[in-house]
Amino acid sequence: MTYKLSKIAKELQLQFDGEDIEIDGIHTLSEATPTQLSFFNDTKYEAQLPLTRAGAVLIAEKYVALLPETAVALITDEPYLKLAEASRLFASALSTQSEAPWQGEGCDIDASVRFGKNVTLGDNVTILAGCYLGDDVVVGDNTLLHPNVTLYHGTKIGSDCIVHSGTVIGCDGYGFAHTKRGEHVKIYQNGHVIIEDHVEIGANCTIDRAVFGATIIRKGTKLDNLIQIAHNCDVGEHSLMAAQVGLAGSTTLGRNVVMGGQSATAGHLEVGAFATIAGKGGVTKSLEGGKTYAGFPAIDIKLWRRMQAALMRLVKKR
């Protein structure tokens, strides 16, 4: 869907002064195109302002001079809140309409499976009882969906994947802006989820759709049961996660990261390739690859073990 920028400004109750361009979506400063709206609400992204290609930016007045001439400024002292309000305009329209999917050869689909519109299935796809595949879902060759799997609209699953019962892929990420009165305004999650080839996902996992762009699980990754992957995460190739792992939003894992049971990350950080996080480890900052970490906050496991030994000696002395 596309809106005139003047229409968006009116919906957001903002003054509009500039070229009345067509806007077809929302994205970050670094990723937005000339037909997209962006926003600036955190000074750590200030260096991106002169470089953005966004057609328009929600921004406080004191930062307007940093924008390139190609970007129209929508001035507000609450850019994040206005982002939330604007996201509603671009939310996917959901319906109960259903149609038969396009499917390749050799598929085995239980009669109870429900499809949205424009679903595409590759060859030899097996979908067991009680599954739901929403609009514009794509499932690759030789993939197996166990009973009661839900794939929200726009989800893309590669070839040779296995998704176990009760898993939900493409549900909304946990995103809200907050008013000055403490009310919480939904940020509509208008991205999608991409699951690459040879991925196995355990039972009762949840993988959230992106705010914009994609949440990505890269090829060869294996997830245990009861795992939460938040919006805009990027999980590297051949990573392993044991039960009850949780990744907060916009976490990036390099390839072959291993996370023990009940370990977790804070959001907007990176864990390098071939890193291991021991069970119950809590990652609070970005970590180098090729090392093993433990504890909360997660530190090099050798240091953590020395700390535990020192603490035990202290307790015994007392």
Beta strands 3-4; 22-23: pairing state:
antiparallel
Catalytic sites, residue numbers: 231
Give the pairing type, strands 150-151 and 168-171: parallel
Q: Strand 276-277 relative to strand 258-259: parallel, antiparallel, unpaired?
A: parallel
Diameter over CA atoms, the chain: 74
| Residue 297 preceded by cis peptide, ω within 30 | yes
Q: Which residues of 32-47 are buried (b: 16+ CB within 10 A; e: fewer)?
A: beeebbbbbbeeeeee
Query: Does residue 173 come out as left (phi exceeding 0), alpha (psi in the -120 to 50 range) or beta?
Result: beta
Are 106 and 112 in contact, with CB atoms under 8 Å apart? no
Other CB atoms within 10 Å distance of the CB of residue 102: 11
Nearest CA to 250 out of 226, 266, 263, 264 is that of 266
